[in-house]
Structure 1
């Protein structure tokens, strides 16, 4: 399943990248080049970040399921 980046969010990231590039390197970055960089990073980093998020969510849920007995167990008498 490909990781999709919504167009509004992509535009926002492009503008942030342009601002970052100017403030850090004192050079202008065109929209075209900024978009190419965002697309490249999205292809290269997107899947690993997505997978890490899934792994973190899985771990969190597993910990909560393990806590069910401690939280809600009622002794039978």
Structure 2
């Protein structure tokens, strides 16, 4: 599944790439070249970042599922226990 950005985010990303080149490189980068670089990053590196984010989300969800069992567990058949009297030790 290709990673695509909404148009406003794509525009902001291209502007950020251009700004980075202006601040850190000897040559500025044009709009079309910055768009190509962004497309390359999204296709080549984007899936690795995406997959890592999914793995982290799965880890967090698994941890929450374990906590659900602890937080929400109820012992069954507890009705009669409230009528029992504590047994005396001899």
Do they superpose with TM above 0.5? yes
Cα distance, 1:63 vs structure 2: 0.6
Once the two structures are superposed, residues 17-74 of structure 1 have per-residue CA deviations (whole angstroms, 9 ceiling, x without a partner) of: 1111111124321111111111111110111111111111111111100111221223
Q: Output the TM-score relative to the length of structure 2.
A: 0.76
The 1-side partners of 2:3 and 2:28 are apart by 29
Give the structure with the higher percent helix. 1
Query: Which ranges in structure 2 are unaligned for 5 or more consecutive residues?
Result: 79-90
Q: Output the TM-score relative to the length of structure 1.
A: 0.87
Q: Which has the larger radius of gyration?
A: 2
- Cα root mean square deviation, aligned: 1.4
Q: How many residues align?
A: 77
- 1:24 is aligned to 2:24: yes
